[in-house]
Structures are given as structure tokens and as C-alpha cells.
Chains A and B, each alone.
Chain A
Amino acid sequence: MDASVQSTKWERLIEPGRVHGSLYADSDIFQEELEKIWYRTWVYVGHTSEIPNPKDYVTKSIGPMPILMVRDRKGEVRLLMNRCPHRGNAVCVIEKGNRATFTCPYHSWTFANDGRLMGYAYPDGYETADKSKLGLGTVPRVSIYKGFVFASMAEDGPTLEEHLGGAARAIDQLCENSPEGEVEITAGFLHHRSQANWKFIVENECDGYHPAFVHASIFAVADSGIGNLYGPDSTAVTRDFGNGHTEVDLRPEFRLRDEPLSWFGTTAERLPDYVAKMNAAHRPDKARTVMIDGTPHIMIFPNLFIAEIQLFVIQPIAADETIQHVTALQFKGAPDFNRRMRQQTMGSVGPAGFLLADDTEMYERNQRGLATREPEWLYLERGVHRERRDENGYLVGHSTDEVPSRGIWRHYKKMMEEE
């Protein structure tokens, strides 16, 4: 297929105001996404705080592919393919630990935690094998931004900083809320499976149109103050950073409230240790601003969702199957704050969560709905007439507008059209 025919295919499926349902359901398209998105662009893998010590490791993934994130003896973070080069077995199936070597259980091939093949059982059976070429596969490019570890399976391409672009501001904003400037991922993950395409989930993360309806049940009984952020009168904005990154910027609402920690549903009086540490860490006016603005609500394409107090990693398994790995964010040096973040996160997310159980119900109904063929399209034009550029040139809209979905699909189309 030549390039012009190829681009016609994506133009046929993705229009500025609507996308074709097959994009969420077709397994050939899913395979093509793996090659052109998941095994090409920068994908979030994990956080350096998950492997604080030499020889620590955790099992992670790039798309459906299992990998190991390890800290080698010298303290360097490495990403290794979890596949024995002999017969393809996983060399490690325990989710985390500390070990200098990985031994494949099938024929006892043993690898150093930098991936080198150290030895195999009954070596006299190999005469010409070149051990230096039989190590664990590695990820061509690894890059770390403020502890967030990203991987790209492409040898060349934009740097991580170029890929993140303006979205890096959100990670900066998140880290500023930590008294020591660092986020930690230490609370363990829930692994939440949905029978839905990964893009329904990515689009939902910055969809400010659904909370009033999907989450009406919890807003009705818990005085969380979240509901008003997404109402018709909200001053919050949706934003498209380009490169598929989107956010709901809630700062305008929090600035109207003008109360530190109101974003977190609490007050400075209730978290005195945290507030004292923040005041010591920043200039007082800066600390106040940071504690009013709070943390971001950003979907970093294609798989890192930072939802104020939670971190989600979205893992595509098949066209109709996705796992969300979710944990509470933790701030270094803020135990009082962290406890509250864990409690709120456990209440909100996972298959029993006040919020995510219903989001997941919606993703799965979306997916099942694709079987109905009339109409074949999904409609994305909400707020087209009121999109505008902000002071940095990014497209923004009302908090309930579909600026994020349109931004995601623009970037998706560009990636899928590239050879």
C-alpha cells in the first residue's frame, strides 16, 4: 500500500468532528497501533521511587509487552525485556523484589540485572554460542523526567522533553506540591481490567462532560465539591497541549476559592505539618499559590494519567481489553498528607471505587455499543464554536467541551499516518 492510499484510510476514519467506531474495535487497527504508537512513541513505564535501591526491580509493561524495570548494581535504571532469549519464557513473574540476577525457570539461563547472559545449565552443550548476543532484550531509549521513567522502542525520534512539550508543566506542578519536590510511588497498585478499548479510557480522563452524570450517585451523598468543577458554570478549562496530551485545568476554580488545600477537600488547619513544611520549602507567597492551585488533572499520551492524587497507567491488552494500573500519589516527606491521599484514592478507584466502578461500566457499555451499526460514528463536536487559544497558544475550551478528545484524535491520526 503506498503512502497516499494509507493516509486516505485514516482520513476516511478520522474526521475533525467525528471518528469511526471501528477504531475502537478492529483488531487489525489495534495491531497497527502497537507498531505505530505503543512501540514508537514515549510510553510511561514507572517511577524511580519504585526501585530505590541497587538490585531492586518491578515488573512493568510497554503496551501488552511485559518488561522489567530494574536498578542495576551501579544504581542506573534499566528496562529489560522479560523474555528469555532461549525459549521465550518470562525470566521473572514476581511483581517486585531485590535481586542481582534473574534465572529463567525453564532451562536455568541466568542473567545479570543489566541484562547480560551470565550462564546456562550444562554449558558443554553449547560450542559456538556467543553469550554477548544472548542477553535480555533492552529498550532502545529510556528517559527520566523528575523521577518519571519513560521508554521508547524507536531508536530515533523526538526527545522525551520534545514529546512532553507544555505537558511537562503539569509534572512540575505536581512535584511542587511535595514539600521535598519529589513524588513517590510506594503504595502498590490495583490492577483494574476493563473489556473496553484503551482510547475510550484515554478520552474519558479529560472528559469534563461526564462527571455530573456518571458520578451523580457519589456527588449526591458525599460533599466532595468535585461536582461543581464540571458544571455548566465552571471556569475550569480543557486544554490540548498537542502530541496527544490533554488536561482539565481546574486552577481557575481553585483560585476563585482562594483557600489553600481547598483543591484537596480540606484546610490548612487540618494538615499543619504539611503546611509548615511547604512554607519552609517555598517562599510563603509561593507556598500559598502552590497549595491553592493543587495538583494537575492531565492525560499524558498515550498511557500516563495524573488525576490530582492518583496515578493511572493505562495498558492496552487487545482491541477490547485494557488494564488500568492505579495507585495513590505520595509526596516525599508528607506522611499526614499521604495518608489522606491513600484513603481518598482507595475510596475512588479500582473495581469497587466510588468513581471508577461507574467509569468502567461506561467504557464497557461504550465498547458493546459499537456492535450497533447505525450510526457507525462517534460525535466529537462539543464546544467547537467556543475553542480558543490560551496565552501559550494551546487550544482551550469549557471544562465540559471535547477539546481533549479532538486533540487526542488529531495526534493519533498523525501517528497512524506515519510509516
Chain B
Amino acid sequence: MTADTQLLDEVSQFLYREARFQDTHAYDDWEALWTDDAIYWVPANGENPDPETEMSFIYDNRSRISLRIKQLQTGKRHSQTPPSQLARLVSNIELLGNDGDDVQVAANTLVFETNLRGETLWAMRNEYNLRRIDGDWRMAKKRSCWSTTTSHYSRCPS
């Protein structure tokens, strides 16, 4: 096995694990995947607007990721009471770069969600900065571009 295929294999296993934590609402396990300086970003208008000046659906630093999870764990987060049933497929995993510290990875994800609202198919292109800390992979950055943004959940007036 070459170094690259071994890296791809490790990274793929990591992304599948993240997906399982998300699908099963294993919030603590999912939270532990983030680095202390993590950024979780879901842009709203286009794939690469300036998140420091423009609105995003999510632009969380580490403490806001934690707050998001604490809110879910109160049991009173109505939009997740009862929790959605989720199953996602992670595919097209591609190594984009490796600067020695962080590895850049792209992957596409299709999420099927069932809850009181009905059934929703979400599609997203994700880009990760992954970092190896004490032998385990961690997410330092995740940018999730939802291609459902303009057609399903929200729409421009024209």
C-alpha cells in the first residue's frame, strides 16, 4: 500500500465514523472530533463568500459548536424532538492537499432525513482540514456547501 492510499483509507474511515456519529445523534462523540481552534462553516450565498462580512447558515467556532450540542442535549430543542431519523452516504472522497500538519479532503454527502416535517434529501459538498493529534484524526475546519440551499429549504424570490 502506498503512503497516499493508506492516508486515503485512514481519512475515509474517519469520515465514515463522523457520519455514523451524526446519523446516530452521538453528539459527544461528534464534538470530540473537533480541534480546539475548529471552524464549522455552512455558507449561505455561494460557496465562498467572506464569512466575516456576510451571513452564513452556520459559522461556528469551537465554543459555538459546543453550545449547539449543549442546546440539543437539554431535550427541549423542539426541532429535534423527536430526533430526526438519518442515514447518509459519504462518497467521492478525494485528498486535495497535505501540508504536513493539515490534510485537505473533499467528500460529497447525501443525507436522507425523516422527521415530523416529512422526508428530506440533502446534498452537500464538504471540504475538511483534518489534523492528526496524538495519533487520532481531528477536524480543524469543515465547510459544508449545501446544493439543496436554493432549491428546497430556501429560495430566492425570483
Name A's B-contacting residues (CB within 8 A): 59-61, 64, 66, 82, 90, 92-93, 95, 186-193, 195, 214, 216-218, 220-222, 315, 323, 325-328, 339, 342-343, 345-347, 350-352, 354, 357-358, 360-362, 364-365
A187–B53 CA distance with the chains assembled, in angstroms: 6
A191 and B156 contacting across the interface, CB-CB below 8 Å: yes
> Which chain B residues in 35-77 approach chain A with CB under 8 Å?
42, 44-45, 49, 52-59, 64, 67-68, 70-72, 74-77
| Residues of the A chain whose Cβ atoms lie less than 8 Å from the Cβ of B117 | 195, 364
Shortest CB distance A326–B (Å): 8
Q: Contact check, B74 vs A350: say whether CB atoms are below 8 A apart.
A: no
Closest chain A residue, CB of each to CB of B42: A352
Residue B79 at the chain A interface, CB threshold 8 Å: yes
B153–A193 CB distance below 8 A:
yes
- Chain B residues within an 8 Å CB radius of A95: 45, 156, 158
In the bound complex, CA of A186 to CA of B45 (Å): 13
Are B71 and A217 in contact, CB atoms less than 8 angstroms apart? Answer: yes
Q: Of B55, B56, B78, B155, which one neighbours A214 at CB under 8 angstroms?
A: B78
> Given A315-B157, A346-B55, A347-B64, A188–B45 Cβ distance below 8 Å?
yes
Cβ of B5 within 8 Å of any chain A Cβ, yes or no, is no
A344, chain B: closest CB distance, angstroms = 11
Nearest CB of chain A from residue B116's CB, rounded to whole Å:
7
Within the complex, the shortest CB–CB distance from B151 to chain A, in Å, comes to 10
Contacts of A92 in B (CB 8 A): 158
Q: What's the least CB distance linking A198 to chain B, in Å?
A: 14
Given contacts A92-B158, A193-B152, A365-B116, 19 further A-B contacts (CB under 8 A): A64-B157, A93-B158, A95-B158, A187-B55, A188-B44, A190-B57, A192-B153, A216-B76, A217-B77, A220-B74, A221-B67, A323-B154, A350-B57, A351-B57, A354-B68, A354-B71, A358-B78, A360-B79, A361-B116
B157 & A352 in contact (Cβ 8 Å cutoff) = no
Residues in A with CB closer than 8 Å to B76 are 216-217, 220
Which of the residues B49, B53, B59, B157 comes within 8 Å of A61, measured between beta carbons?
Answer: B157
Q: Given A221-B67, A222-B67, A59–B55 Cβ distance below 8 Å?
A: no
- Assuming the A-B contacts A188-B49, A190-B55, A351-B57, are A358 and B157 also in contact, with contact meaning beta carbons closer than 8 angstroms in the complex? no
A378 to chain B, nearest CB (A): 19
8 Å CB interface, B60-111 against A: 64, 67-68, 70-72, 74-79
Q: Is the CB of A90 within 8 A of B55?
A: no
A95 to B45, CA, bound (A): 10
Tell me the complex Cα distance, A82–B76, Å: 43
Taking the nearest CB of chain A, how far is it from the CB of B48, in angstroms?
13
| Complex Cα gap A82–B154 (Å) | 20
| Distance between Cα atoms of A214 and B71 in the complex (Å) | 12
- A342–B55 CB distance below 8 A: yes
Q: Which residues of A contact B78 (CB under 8 A)?
A: 214, 217, 358, 361-362
Distance in angstroms between the alpha carbons of A189 and B154 in the assembled complex: 11
Indicate if the CB atoms of B67 and A193 lie closer than 8 Å. Answer: no
Evaluate contact between A188 and B77: CB separation under 8 angstroms.
Answer: no
Which residue of the partner chain B has the closest CB to A345? B55
Q: Which residue of A lies closest to B156 (CB)?
A: A95
Other-chain contact of A193, B52, B54, B154 (Cβ < 8 Å): B154
A191–B71 CA distance with the chains assembled, in angstroms: 23
Contacts of A326 in B (CB 8 A): 55
Chain A neighbourhood of B75, CB < 8 A: 217
Complex Cα distance, B155 from A59, in Å, reads 12
Instruction: Indicate if the CB atoms of A361 and B154 lie closer than 8 Å.
Output: no
Per-residue 0/1 for B117-158: is the Cβ within 8 Å of any A Cβ (1 yes, 0 no)?
100000000000000000000000000000000101111111
Q: Which residue of A has the minimal Cβ distance to B68? A: A354
Q: Are B156 and A59 in contact (CB under 8 A)?
A: yes
Q: How far is the CA of A93 from the CA of B158 in the complex (A)?
A: 6
B59 pairs with A346, CB closer than 8 A: yes
| CB-CB nearest in chain B for A327 | B55
Tell me, in angstroms, the Cα distance from A222 to B74 when the chains sit together: 12
Looking across the interface, which residue of chain B has its beta carbon closest to that of A325? B157
Cα-based distance from A83 to B44 in the complex (angstroms): 26
Decide: B70 and A221 in contact? CB cutoff 8 A: yes
> Across the interface, which residues of B come within 8 angstroms of A186, CB to CB?
53
| Distance A59 CA – B58 CA, assembled complex (angstroms) | 24
Chain A residues with Cβ below 8 Å from B74 are 216-217, 220-221
Q: How distant is the Cα of A385 from the Cα of B85 in the complex, in angstroms?
A: 45
Residues of chain B with a CB closer than 8 A to A315's CB:
157
Chain A residues positioned under 8 Å from B72 (CB to CB):
217
Shortest CB distance A133–B (Å): 24
Of chain B, the residue at the smallest CB distance from A220 is B74
Interface contact A82-B55, CB-CB below 8 Å: no
B residues near A60, Cβ cutoff 8 Å: 157
- How far is it, in angstroms, between the C-alpha of A345 and the C-alpha of B154 when the chains are bound? 17
The distance from the CB of A381 to the nearest CB of chain B, in whole angstroms, is: 25
A193 near B155 (CB under 8 angstroms)?
yes
Q: Which residues of A contact B116 (CB under 8 A)?
A: 361, 364-365
